[in-house]
Structure formats: structure tokens, C-alpha cells
Chain A
Amino acid sequence: MTVSIQLEVNGKPVQAAVEPRRLLVHFLREDLGLTGANIGCETSLCGACTVLLDGNAVKSCTMLAAQADGASVTTIEGLAQNGELHPLQEGFWEKHGLQCGYCTPGMILSANYLLAQNPSPNDEEIREGLKGNICRCTGYHNIVEAVKYAAERMS
């Protein structure tokens, strides 16, 4: 049994028939080939799978593809515009906000949501805003710096 869904992914319309139980993250990664969203825990705890759904940061491992019907999804692949890195991507590169990079797409998209809510967060607000995303490599020090860098660039 499948359900048919229509949504927008990174600005492009997508139509698909999916199993009702198919997770959004598997739909994105395996059906659409958008492997930027990673799976770190499949239980909504690590944030590696974070994507933007109608502008909100959501954990795509804990959502069914069918629930994304009608929504607009942005993955890390859709963040750079016209070949130009998003300031957050630049910030993570510039400030060494990543090591293995596995948490990075989710971290960047959560930070994107944070900056949309609060364009000039202080350190504490950044740390509060990103607490749904785990990074095991960086100790977070440079992630805070990366987000500050982006906030400055975007203001």
C-alpha cells in the first residue's frame, strides 16, 4: 500500500507514492538521493537529520514522509543559492565548526532556524537554540563561533 504525496523540496516540486510508514528522512535520502540529512539516532535525539519544513527545523527521522504532504522542505543541499554558500555554511568552514561533518547539515539547518527567529543571538542563546543537535567531535566551541560569524554576515 502506498500513499501519494506532493511537496516541494529545495524549491522543486516532487510527487511520489510512498509506503505510509516511510520516514521522511528515508524518503529524502533514499528516494530523492538527498543524503545530506544524516541519521544518527533515529529517535529524535541527535538532530543529524534536521531539515526545514515550512521554515521550521524538524527532525526528519521522526516524521513520516506522508506527513510532509503539501509542505516545503529545505535540506542542506538546498541552502546554497546560485552557487554561493549560505553565510552559515561559510561560518562553519571559516570557524572550523565541523570535524567529521556528520552532524553538520542538521546543525546548520537548526542554526538557520535559530537565526530566523533571532538574527543576533548571544552565546547563551546560540547554545540554547542548538541544544537539540549533538556534535561528538567539536566540543561545540567553534560551532558557537560559526553561528556568530553567520549572524554578523547576515545582519
Chain B
Amino acid sequence: MARVLGTSIKRREDPALITGRGKYTDDLKAEGMAHAAIVRSPYAHARIRGIDTSAAEALPGVLAVLTARDVAAAGIPGVVPVGWLLPDLVTPAHPMIAADTVRHVGDAVAVVVAEDRYLARDAADRVAVDYEPLDAVADVVAALEDGAPAVHEEAPGNVAFDWEIGERESVDAAFASAAHTVELDLRNNRLIPHAIEPRAVLASYDSSTGEMTIHMTSQNPHVHRLLMTLASLGMPEHKVRIVAPEVGGGFGSKIHHYADEAIVGLCSMKLDRPVKWTATRTETNLTDAHGRDHSTHCAMALDADGRITGLRVDTAAAMGAYLSTFAPAVPTYLYGTLLSGQYDIPAIHCHVTGVFTHTAPVDAYRGAGRPEATYVVERLMHLAGDATGLGPVEVRRRNFVSPDAFPYQTQVALAYDSGNYGPAMDRALEMIGYDDLKSEQASRRDNGGKQIGIGFSSYIEACGLAPSAVVGSLGAQAGQWESADVRVHPTASVTVYTGSSSHGQGHETTFSQIVADKLGIAPEAVEVIHGDTDLVQFGMGTYGSRSAAVGGSAIVKSVEKIIEKGKKIAAHLLEASAEDLEYEDGNFRVAGSPDRSLGLGDVALQAYLAHNYPDDLEPGLSATSFYDPANFTYPFGTHVCVVEVDTETGSIELLRYAAVDDVGNVINPMIVDGQLHGGLAQGIGQALWENAVYDESGQLVSGSLMDYAVPKIHNLIPFELDRTTTPCPHNPLGVKGVGEAGAIASPAAVVNAVVDALAPFGISHIDMPLTPEKVWRAVNS
């Protein structure tokens, strides 16, 4: 049987999607369905003096208008919880519907339900809210200043938490004796995830059974069910079924539990009817959790040989108006712990202040903390290359963790399990033709005109989220294992029920390849079910590049159990001893007697026809596993970006982008490359174009696709990809995860390239996004 692991088989998901038959949440209809529209605060900070719903209620076809009063009257918990606690974290309540104070533009103040989508919108416009506007603060640095408007009374100085990792004293000592130091003040720009499918929910409550089915845009339906029932609606969990149909991208934004989905659930309960709500793009931008938004001071100390001796990082990280689901973890455990990068750094200290601002919450967005960490480390490495005179390549090489140093214990908690960083750098240089580019750069520097720059980013990420014991000890309120239930049917076809839920990654294809490979059957014989809390018993979902490493490993574990069980059945049927049986290519064989064998089909059938089994053998052929990884996985790579900068106009043209990634073993190379492409587009977008801008009064200036520059096809170039392969040593597939790599590595590569191009102008840093205006100003200042 040909191996199916490692082959680019076409995606089984696609036929429905390319013919328009894929069903996303907004495509669904239910009998008697009504439509909700949510009334949102136009102010970043205001007291609600009163709400008059009468004009809305008077419109024919309007079924209900609910406010915070109705949430209170329903006797439900009515809040949106945070799921990750830090020591001394301030956790102000986040009400589903704001009662007396709104804290960001877009905060929900009322909901209207009507017979028709248009009518609901009309009625929402007739809800009159009397606001008393209050001073607001949207900027993460301004929010920490004395006298800044307070977002929550219980958080003096707008501080949500104060967190540190590493040893300050040893870092201070390193700086005191450093031969070279480099430092930087930088902003990591706030981003809006922009899944092209806006968030949507269809909640169908049935009072006759007390059950509710919620179809929604979710990356993790079980997590949503838990938070929705426990903290928002106060329903017994077994009475709520959450289904994620086709999900049109998420990138983190559909991990989190939001007020809106809970509000729609409440509407359905109140009306005893199905209620649908779909965000507009503007609502999405106002309420989806944003990403990044750091202000950082960082510095690196090096000895006379260019070896790093210390790294110091101090970051203010915006949390927004409320703490979103995983928000506190992102700028701490997914950021501070990554600051060793690919380097052997003997002393690191990182201090992070979590800051409330009158903006949309900030939470995990593709990469979540790791792009921010990579940006800090790789920008400093660029400067270190200059300061030491070693240049960007040699300074990195000199500091790479050596291949024989693994497992490598960093100074910031993580222990890298495996890695070999040099070859990825070598390959990247070769792909890009580094020496030729350097001479081209030199001649342009001599001749003037458009300049070219070459930027590197040698990144590390920790993914395969997550070893439960580790994240539990770090404040997660849940383990991050994954489940897989694999059932072999009597005809030897297989159904896999996985808790890892796809929103575009092609889980069904990839997971079928895993099962087909391990069982020696055709991928077509394997069905993969995900995204439904009634079908899948429990799961943690898709984020943190975890689906293959954790979800896939759970599947392998179940398949292994099935093979063991199958051996017992085959042994019984063949009158052999189970210890003597081997399984290969779909057959159970007695070792040493090749003619005594049974196919999986025979065994599966007999597993269900069982009538003469010995006492210790149960009928059936299925297995459930919960796989909890021993460690994170540590993908790495080196990316090189080449840009041309027009120093007259400040405009930047991408010339080349080469990425060499090591994501461990690869199940489906086509899908893996696709994940990299998408991540690169988002990271390059952050570096060059994307920016969520709030003005001083807290209005989101970039609230639509007119003002927020998601990369378009003509902005980007073909990506040049290659891989090295260092398998993950601690999971059965040797895979590490690839969903976030592109977004983690690329911002630093792009910015380093532009700064490199502008080196003759004495420019060492420009904050993202590198708009022509900023570049022009830098050149002309």
C-alpha cells in the first residue's frame, strides 16, 4: 500500500465549496427563524442614562427589544468570562449587555429581534439611548499615564496585570559588562483579524425540551458551549448543542466567546424561536477581538565576539475594554516565554503590563504572542548585526542554539525539544542568492535611486497547544489535550470524531490521511466528523497550530488501540495468540505463518457479529483517546525578504520572499504550503499595510475594509518555500504544526529588509505598518 502520509492529496472539503454548496452559518435557515440586530455604543466611554425602546417595539414585525434589564430579569449569569487567570489579575465583569456604562465603541446596549433582517436593522436604529459621554483612552501608553480615564474602577491606573519572567539581576549584570548593546522602542501595531466570513450565530431554543441548538462561527464548539452555558446563559451543558458548520476563516477571532452569540441565545430562549444574527463587517471590526497592540522597550547585550549575553524586554500590552477568553495568556505565556528565539541567551528578563483601554478586546490572533516575541528578538538581532559588525547572518549563526544542545532549556521556562537551525538559514541564503543580492545592493548604494534591502527572520514558535500540566500551572482554566473517537464499521470503513474543528485548514483531508496510513486503508474509506458537540464528546478545538500535533496524535492513539483490539479478535478467529499477531497494510497476520491472516474487513465484521467471544473479549471495534502532549512543539525556520524602496516617495516593493520552515514531518505538503502562504500574507500585511487605528476619543477609524488594508492579490508576490525536517520527538506523528509560522516570522523579515535598504540614511527603525508616508518622513528627517 502506498504511503498516504506526506502526499498532497486533493482536499475532500473542496467539491462543496467550489460549487457553492458549502453551508456557512448565515446560509442556514430554520423554521420560524427571526433576525437579530444589536444596538451598539457609538461612544468609547459613556454612562447610559436611559434607553427608550418604544419606537422600535412599535414597528410592525418587531418581536422583542432586550436590554441589560432583560438579562437581569432572566436570572442568568449574563457575563462573558475570561478563561485564563494570572496571579493578581484584575477581572472586572463583562456583562453580555452593558447595563450602565459602555466601555468601547461597539459595546452592546440592546438587541432587537424582528421577522426580517431589514426590519431588525430599521428597528435597531429606532432604539434611543441617552448617553452621557465620558473621557476615554484608547492608546496603550496613554492609558498608563497619570490621570488617564479609568476603564474599570477596580483597575487603578488601568493595569490589568503586572507579570514578569526571567531574572532581572543577571540581565543587569550582562548589560553592565557588555561589549555591545542595542536597544529599541517599538510598537507592535494593533490588527483586526478579518476572517472574510463575519461572525454569525443561529440559536434555536425549544421550550418543549428545554434544549438549544446553536450553529455558530466557532473554532472550538465545546469551549464555546462551556463558556456559553456556564457564564452567560446558565443552562445545563447537556441541553446545549453547538455546531460549527463551514467556518469561513478565524485566525483566532472565532476562538473567543463573545457577548453577541450569548445575546442571540437569550433572544431565542425568550421568544422560543430560532434567531439568527450575522455581523456586518463594521460590527466585526468593532467587536472581534483584535491582535497585538504592544508598546515595547527592549535591549540586547552582546560580548566582544558578538555572543548575546542578555536580553531585557518591557512591554505594555493592550487588553482592550474587557478581558477576552485567552487574553491574559497572549502577551505573557505565549510571548515572554518565546524571547530566547533560536538563540542561546544566558540571561533574559521580560516584564509585561496588561492595560485596559477603551477599545475592542485584544486576544489571540494568528501567532498570538509569538509574532510579537519574534519581532522583538529579530529586530534586535538585525541591530546587533550592525552594532557588532558581524552582519545579520553571522550574528544569528553565532548565537543559534547548537544542534547538540537539545533538549535546550531556555531562561524563560520553555524547553526546546529538538531543532537544527543552521541548515534552514543555509538553504534560505541559497534560495535567495544572497551574495548576488549583496553586490546588487552595494552597487545601488553607490549609484543612488531605488534601494534594495534584505531582511532576515530566524524564528521559533511554541505550538501544539498545549501540555495541560504546563498550561494549567500557568493559569489556564482548562487542559489543552484533544480527543479522538475512531470507530471501525462492520464493513471496515471508518469514522473519526475529533474535537479539533476545522475552519478552512482541511482537517477532514489531513486526518483521513493519518487514519488511512496507520490502518493501511484508502483515505476515501475514512470519514471525519468535527465541529458538533452532540457528535463529538469533547474537544478543545483549533488554535495554536495544534490540530495535527495534538488532534492528530489523539487519532493515532485511538488507531493504535483499535489495532490492539483487532489483534485480539483476529487471534480468537485464527485460534492464535494475540501476541503472535502483526498488523500491516490492512491485514492481521500470525507472525511466521503468512497464510494465516485476516483483513481488517473480516475482523471488523466479526467484531460486530460477535457471538462466541471469550469472556475477556468485548464486541465492537472502536476506541476513544485523549491525547495530552508531553511538551509544546517547536517549529522554526529562517525567512528572507527582499524589498526595493523608493526613497523619493517612500513606497516599498516586495521583490522576493523565501521561507525555509521546519514543521517536522508533513502530512499533506500542499495543505502545509497553503498554511504558510496564508500566514505570510497576514504577517506581511502587518508589516506594510494593516493597522487598527483608534482616534483619541476612542473611535475606530479603520472600521471598514476601506480604511483597514487587508492585503490584496496585487499587493503580494509568489512565495518561495522550502523545508528542513526535524521531526518532533515526542508525538507519534513527528509533526509540529504550521498554521501560524508565516505570520510569526514575516513581520520582522519585512521590516528588517526595509531598514536594511535605508541603512545609508542612518535609519535603524520604523514602526509598522511601513506606509510610504512613514518611510518618506524617516528618509527626510
Contact = CB atoms under 8 A, between A and B. Distances in A.
Interface stretch (A1-9, A31-39, A64-72): A31-39
A22 B679 CA distance: 37
A19 B11 CA distance: 40
Interface in A94-117: 94, 96, 98-105, 108
B19 interface: yes
A153 interface: no
A74 to B, nearest CB: 11
A137 B678 contact: yes
A11 interface: no
Given A41-B705, A142-B674, A131 B20 contact: no
B19 A135 contact: no
Contacts of B199: none
A53 to B, nearest CB: 16
B712 A139 contact: no
Interface of B: 10-11, 13-24, 26-27, 29, 117-118, 194-198, 246-249, 251, 278, 280-281, 503-506, 670-671, 673-674, 676-682, 704-706, 710-714, 716, 718-719, 742
A70 B11 CA distance: 39
Q: Which 9 A-B pairs have the closest CB atoms?
A: A36-B20, A100-B504, A101-B17, A102-B248, A139-B677, A139-B681, A76-B20, A35-B27, A45-B705
Given A26-B117, A40-B197, A138-B674, 15 more contacts: A21-B118, A35-B23, A37-B20, A40-B196, A99-B678, A100-B248, A100-B249, A101-B16, A101-B504, A102-B248, A123-B718, A136-B196, A136-B251, A139-B681, A139-B711
A126 B716 CA distance: 12
Given A26-B117, A89-B18, A103 B705 contact: no
A102 to B, nearest CB: 3
B712 A101 contact: no
A124 to B, nearest CB: 8
Interface residues of A, number: 57
Which of A37, A96, A104, A105 is the most central at the interface, judged by chain B CB atoms within 10 Å of its CB?
Answer: A96
A120 B282 CA distance: 37
A134 B718 contact: no
23 contacts: A35-B20, A40-B197, A41-B705, A43-B706, A45-B281, A76-B20, A79-B19, A96-B674, A99-B504, A100-B195, A101-B14, A101-B17, A101-B22, A101-B504, A104-B18, A131-B712, A134-B196, A134-B705, A134-B710, A136-B196, A136-B682, A139-B677, A141-B677
Which of A19, A98, A137, A143 is the most central at the interface, judged by chain B CB atoms within 10 Å of its CB?
Answer: A137
A45 B678 contact: no
B197 A38 contact: yes
B712 A134 contact: yes
Nearest to B710: A134
B704 A45 contact: yes
Nearest to A145: B718
A48 interface: yes
Interface of A: 19, 21-22, 26, 29-30, 34-43, 45-46, 48, 75-77, 79-80, 85, 89, 92-94, 96, 98-105, 108, 123, 126-128, 130-131, 133-144
B122 to A, nearest CB: 10
A102 B197 contact: yes
A102 B281 contact: no
A30 B682 CA distance: 32
A47 B705 CA distance: 11
A155 B143 CA distance: 60
Contacts of B674: 96, 99, 137-138, 142
Contact of B19 (A22, A76, A136): A76
B531 to A, nearest CB: 13
Contact of B248 (A38, A75, A127, A138): A38
Contacts of A22: 118
A48 B11 contact: no
B19 A80 contact: yes
A40 B678 contact: no
B18 A93 contact: yes
Nearest to B20: A36
Given A96-B671, A102-B196, A134-B710, A43 B705 contact: yes
Contacts of B710: 134, 136
Contacts of A94: 10
Nearest to A45: B705
Contact of A101 (B246, B682, B718): B246
A138 to B, nearest CB: 6
Contact of A100 (B19, B503, B671, B679): B503
Contacts of B117: 26, 30
A93 B21 contact: no
A148 B673 CA distance: 18
Contact of A39 (B26, B506, B671): B26
Given A43-B281, A138-B674, A96 B19 contact: no
Contacts of A126: 713
Which of B20, B22, B23, B671 is the most central at the interface, judged by chain A CB atoms within 10 Å of its CB?
Answer: B20
B18 A85 contact: yes
Which of A37, A80, A135, A136 is the most central at the interface, judged by chain B CB atoms within 10 Å of its CB?
Answer: A136
A140 B504 contact: no
Contacts of A123: 718
B713 A136 contact: no
B216 to A, nearest CB: 15
A100 B247 contact: yes
A41 B15 CA distance: 25
A139 B678 contact: yes
B197 A93 contact: no
Contacts of A92: 14, 18
B675 to A, nearest CB: 8
A134 B15 CA distance: 21
A36 B19 contact: yes
Contacts of A21: 118
A58 B160 CA distance: 47
Contacts of A30: 29, 117
Contacts of B670: 96
Contacts of A80: 19
Contacts of A131: 712-714
Given A41-B704, A41-B705, A99-B674, A136 B712 contact: no
Nearest to A123: B718
